[in-house]
Amino acid sequence: MSELQQYKCPCCNGAIEFNANAQKMVCPYCDNEFEMETLLSYDEALKNDTESSLEWETTAGSEWQEGETAGLRVYQCKSCGGEIVGDETTGATSCPYCGNPVVMMGQFAGALKPDYVIPFKYDKKAALEALKKHYGGKKLLPKAFKDQNHLEEVKGLYVPFWLYDTDVQANIRYRGTRTHTWSDSDYIYTETSYYSIIRNGSIGFEHVPVDGSTKIDDTLMESIEPFNFSEAVDFQTAYLAGYLADKYDVDSQASVERANERIKKSTEEAFASTVNGYATVFPESTSINLNNGVAKYALYPIWILTTSWNGQKYTFAMNGQTGKFVGDLPMDQSAYTKYLVGTTALVALIVFAIMFVIWLL
Amino acid sequence: MKNKLFTLLAIFALFMSTIGMIHAAPTTYIIDEFNVLSDDEINRMNDQAEKIEKESGIGVYFAYLENSEISDLDVTSIVGDKKDYFLMAENEEIWIIRAGGIMEEKVTDVDGDAFRKAYDSEDTYIGGVKAYLENVEQFIEDEEINVTVQSSEQDNDSQSGANEQNSTQENVTDNKESIVVKTTSNLYDGADLLSTDEENSLKQEIDEIIKKHKVDIAIATVQTTGNKAIDDYIAEYYDINGFGTGENRDGVLFLISMSERQYRILSNGLGAQAISSDDITSIGNNIVSDLTDGNYASAFHTFLSDCEYEINGEINGFPFPFGMNATIAAVGGFIVSLFTTGSMKNQLKSVSKQNKAKDYMKPGSMNLENSNEFFLYRTVSSQRKAKDDSDSSSRSSGSSRNVGGGSF
């Protein structure tokens, strides 16, 4: 049994949660609001208030076989005593019996503690509105998908990200071409001159994010970028109350390759922008040295919406900080054929009519 | 001693007669020691070079040399005693260009490079040689180089009485050929290119067009136009033989000269209104492949149907090309539709990888420490311009007239 934390209302003892609109902890029972600043010291106090949960361990039921519990963590709800089963990365969830939000303190303790968190700025209602807007204006979206679509799950999730800061020392050699064309009575001549272009210099990157969770599709997470790090705050577990949260399961060493790819590409482009007056420019050799590289651990707010249609699962994501909404949608094949044929016929008719009028003139 | 002297004299006489035979043999303009050209290709190129010499007096030579040291090349071994010549030769990828007489005065290094580039621009050996000859020929025409008179005089000075006799006979022949054929037939096959059945079929088609549109149509083939320019020949042929109907002598004439491998189309009066210079070019493009392949009857049928289409259009108005326009409209509509629906499909896709990190670049952190650019090398490529092989002209003789055509 691991350590579990609920935030109780000092007034009515109800479970309180973080409210994205108020940017405060709010009690859903008595509507009292609590400032986030007070929670830092409250967090410290809570760390010493964990022993009582151990008393509720039970030996009832059959014992787990060897290997069965390898990926599972079992917690006990402080409100109703119900058993909460999560996996090894679950950091925050809600009790399936009483619905109270709970935070698994042990998942974010010691070396596992995130450095930063960007609190949710958009709530569930905003996510649902964004989904409705996402459906709008798409003529090839099947009508049945919109009408019959019932969301299976809408969850606010703090996704673990690794943030990489680094100074790049770049030595890039580009190959550039200039062309000159002239002609005589029989031939058109094209002279292509080739140049070697050297650019040395430095450039800095900060907070390049890489998804540290294997549960979430990396491409989906990159699609909702960018995140504005200036709104990040020092991590406090209280921000997780009312949302789901995972701890990382891909470490910073394993994630750095993806950050390097993106940094290299942007470095090449940044220095290429200083090369002017050439018809074509492409990097021929790129040597990049990273200095002062630092990786930070942060939790970023994401709304995940999932639904199924015609046996296929569709996942949408919304950036909980900026509201950017993404998610691939199905295509209505019959509507596509209808538009293809209809547009062809309409345009052909107009072109034909214009040609006929020209012929008459 | 006497016997030895006779023997030596006999050998000398034999040697001299051999030289005479060599001298009398046809000139070899194309030498192929690489064996990359077929006999037929060599013959064709030789014919083309011979034509250039006949028209301008300039000997144009081309040689692939494998067994000769190009640095010590004796040009006379190729051009003989020709005074005015141009030679391009290759040996082990080393090229030499030599010019003699007036060509030495006229051809600059730039011109020489242009001939070489013309050769290089083709993918095949025969294509390269052909391009080389065409470019030199064009150069000779542009520079208006013609030394035929001088050459004749030189030849007359140096040649024997027998040769003089031959030359006289050729002139007589030329004079005979330059006389324009007189005929009243709308189909004259002096070059004997058509079978009887083909002639009958063409005559029937010609008669129908004349009867239907009251515009004269005629086709003529001749072996040569002699020393008369083909443009002048076709005009005289039309005028002398009284072709054309009505006051404006409305008509169209198609002429082929086999020796020059040239064709011309003349349109007059209403014919000229119906068939412009551009139409002549278009008709020429439609028939030139048939002419090149020797399908003369097919080329003439195409000419007649094209003429009837244009004349009918001029008289009655062109019908709206429904099928062609419907196809163009449908293809255009489909392409526009693909773009439109493609855009709609893209609206459904919003998940994609971010390959860059420019959003996370520290503002103002870029520091360019070293910036250097230097030239490496250059290449020059050439592409032949689309060449309009037809030349057209317009003359007036009381009514409008267009003449145009090309070679095949």
**pLDDT exceeds cutoff 80 at A124:** yes
- The percent of residues in chain A predicted with pLDDT above 90, rounded, is 43
Which range, A81-95, A115-129, B18-32, is most confident?
A115-129
**pLDDT exceeds cutoff 60 at B174:** no
Kindly report the nearest CA distance between residue B279 and chain A, in angstroms: 18
Cβ neighbours of A193 in B, within 8 Å: 375, 377-378
Q: Which of B329, B345, B373 sits opposite A331 (nearest CB)?
A: B345
Check A344 against B336: CB less than 8 A apart: yes
3-state secondary structure chain B: CHHHHHHHHHHHHHHHHHHHHHHHCCCCCEEECCCCCCHHHHHHHHHHHHHHHHHHCCEEEEEECCCCCHHHCCCHHHHCCCCCEEEEEEECCEEEEEEECHHHHHCCHHHHHHHHHHHHCCCCHHHHHHHHHHHHHHHHHHCCCCCHHHHHHHHHHHCCHHHHHHHHHHHHHHHHHCCCCCCCCCEEECCCCCCHHHHHHHHHHHHHHHHHHCCEEEEEEECCCCCCCHHHHHHHHHHHCCCCECCCCEEEEEEEECCCCEEEEEEECHHHHHCCHHHHHHHHHHHHHHHHHCCHHHHHHHHHHHHHHHHHHHHHCCCCCHHHHHHHHHHHHHHHHHHHHHHHHHHCCCCCCCCCCHHHECCCCCEEEEEEEEEEEEEEEEEECCCCCCEEEEEECCCEEEEEEEEC
Cβ neighbours of B369 in A, within 8 Å: 200-202
Q: Which of A187, A259, A266 sits opposite B382 (nearest CB)?
A: A187
Kindly report the nearest CA distance between residue A162 and chain B, in angstroms: 13
d(CA B63, CA B28): 10
**pLDDT exceeds cutoff 50 at B171:** no
d(CA A85, CA B208): 98
Check B357 against A197: CB less than 8 A apart: no
Check B333 against A189: CB less than 8 A apart: no
- The percent of residues in chain B predicted with pLDDT above 70, rounded, is 81
- Per DSSP, the three-state class of A83 is strand
Q: pLDDT higher for A112 or B169?
A: A112
Cβ neighbours of B320 in A, within 8 Å: 356, 359
Q: Which of A200, A329, A339 sits opposite B341 (nearest CB)?
A: A339
Mean of the pLDDT values across residues A196-202?
93
Helices first, then strands: H and E counts in chain A = 6, 15
Interface probe for A, chosen from B344, B346, B352 (most Cβ of A below 10 Å), is B344
**pLDDT exceeds cutoff 90 at B219:** yes
User: What pLDDT, on a 0 to 100 scale, did the predictor assign at position A336?
Assistant: 94
Q: pLDDT higher for A172 or B166?
A: A172
Cβ neighbours of B336 in A, within 8 Å: 343-344, 347
Band the pLDDT of A204: cuts 50, 70, 90: very high
Q: pLDDT higher for B77 or B17?
A: B77
Which whole-number Å values give the CA distances from A56 to A48, A65, A78, A83, in the listed order? 18, 21, 9, 10
Check B383 against A356: CB less than 8 A apart: no
Cα–Cα–Cα angle for A59, A61, A67, rounded to 5 degrees:
90
User: What pLDDT, on a 0 to 100 scale, did the predictor assign at position B341?
Assistant: 93
Cβ neighbours of B338 in A, within 8 Å: 340
Kindly report the nearest CA distance between residue A44 and chain B, in angstroms: 33
**pLDDT exceeds cutoff 70 at B2:** no
User: What pLDDT, on a 0 to 100 scale, did the predictor assign at position B69?
Assistant: 67
Taking CA–CA distances from A276, the nearest residue in chain B reads B373
**pLDDT exceeds cutoff 90 at B97:** no
The CA-to-CA distance between both ends of chain B, in Å, stands at 64
Q: pLDDT higher for A316 or A93?
A: A316
Q: Specify the range with the lowest mean pLDDT, choosing from A56-60, B214-218, B243-247, B397-401.
A: A56-60
List, for residues B10-28, the tens digit of each pLDDT value. Answer: 454 444 444 444 444 567 8
Cβ neighbours of A201 in B, within 8 Å: 366-370
Band the pLDDT of B153: cuts 50, 70, 90: very low
**pLDDT exceeds cutoff 70 at B63:** yes
User: What pLDDT, on a 0 to 100 scale, did the predictor assign at position B19?
Assistant: 43
Cβ neighbours of A183 in B, within 8 Å: 385
* Beta carbons of A290 and A166 less than 8 angstroms apart: yes
**pLDDT exceeds cutoff 80 at A178:** yes
Check B367 against A203: CB less than 8 A apart: yes
Q: Which of A195, A326, A343 sits opposite B351 (nearest CB)?
A: A326
How many Å is the Cα radius of gyration of chain A? 28
User: Considering only CA atoms, which of B220, B245, B248, B223 is closest in space to residue B234?
Assistant: B220
- Per DSSP, the three-state class of A192 is strand
User: What pLDDT, on a 0 to 100 scale, did the predictor assign at position B18?
Assistant: 43
Q: Which long-range contacts link B110-114 to residues 24+ away (Cβ below 8 Å)? A: B111/B139, B112/B88, B114/A184, B114/A186
> What is the value of pTM for the model shown?
0.55
Mean of the pLDDT values across residues B63-75?
76
**pLDDT exceeds cutoff 60 at A77:** yes
Kindly report the nearest CA distance between residue B400 and chain A, in angstroms: 25
**pLDDT exceeds cutoff 50 at A54:** no
User: Considering only CA atoms, which of A157, A164, A159 is closest in space to residue A252?
Assistant: A164
Q: pLDDT higher for A299 or A59?
A: A299
User: What pLDDT, on a 0 to 100 scale, did the predictor assign at position A69?
Assistant: 56
Cα dihedral angle (A93, A97, A98, A100), rounded to 10 degrees? Answer: -10
Q: Which residues is A5 bridged to in the sheet?
A: A103
List, for residues A131-168, the tens digit of each pLDDT value. Answer: 989 998 898 998 888 876 677 888 888 999 999 999 99
Band the pLDDT of A71: cuts 50, 70, 90: low
Q: Specify the range with the lowest mean pLDDT, choosing from B145-159, B164-178, B281-295, B329-343.
A: B164-178
Check B375 against A195: CB less than 8 A apart: yes
User: What pLDDT, on a 0 to 100 scale, did the predictor assign at position B176?
Assistant: 41
Cβ neighbours of B365 in A, within 8 Å: 167, 202-204
User: What pLDDT, on a 0 to 100 scale, did the predictor assign at position A45?
Assistant: 61
List, for residues B327-343, the tens digit of each pLDDT value. Answer: 999 999 999 999 999 99
How many Å is the Cα radius of gyration of chain B? 31
Kindly report the nearest CA distance between residue A168 and chain B, in angstroms: 9
Q: Specify the range with the lowest mean pLDDT, choosing from A30-34, A295-299, B206-210, B391-395.
A: B391-395
User: Considering only CA atoms, which of A79, A99, A108, A146 is closest in space to residue A2?
Assistant: A108
d(CA B254, CA B220): 6
Residue with tokens 């030596």: B8
Q: Which of B328, B369, B374 sits opposite A195 (nearest CB)?
A: B374
User: What pLDDT, on a 0 to 100 scale, did the predictor assign at position B387?
Assistant: 56
Mean of the pLDDT values across residues A200-205?
94
Band the pLDDT of A60: cuts 50, 70, 90: very low
Q: pLDDT higher for B231 or B109?
A: B231
* Beta carbons of B26 and B47 less than 8 angstroms apart: no
Interface probe for B, chosen from A191, A294, A325, A355 (most Cβ of B below 10 Å), is A355
Global ipTM: 0.75
User: What pLDDT, on a 0 to 100 scale, did the predictor assign at position B207?
Assistant: 92
Band the pLDDT of A62: cuts 50, 70, 90: low
Band the pLDDT of A341: cuts 50, 70, 90: very high
Mean of the pLDDT values across residues B306-326?
87
> How high is the mean pLDDT of chain B?
80
User: What pLDDT, on a 0 to 100 scale, did the predictor assign at position B156?
Assistant: 43
Band the pLDDT of B260: cuts 50, 70, 90: confident
User: What pLDDT, on a 0 to 100 scale, did the predictor assign at position A47?
Assistant: 59
**pLDDT exceeds cutoff 70 at A220:** yes
For residue B195, how many C-alpha atoms fall within 13 Å in the half-sphere facing its CB?
A: 5
Phi, psi of A262, rounded to the nearest 5 degrees: -70, -40
- The percent of residues in chain B predicted with pLDDT above 90, rounded, is 30
Within 8 A by CB and 6+ apart from B359, the residues are: A225, A226
In the 8-state DSSP scheme, what is residue A14? P
Mean of the pLDDT values across residues B92-117?
82
Band the pLDDT of B71: cuts 50, 70, 90: low
User: What pLDDT, on a 0 to 100 scale, did the predictor assign at position A40?
Assistant: 60
Provide the number of CB pairs (under 8 Å) joining chain A to chain B.
Answer: 207
Mean of the pLDDT values across residues B379-394?
65
Band the pLDDT of A110: cuts 50, 70, 90: low
Check A203 against B362: CB less than 8 A apart: yes
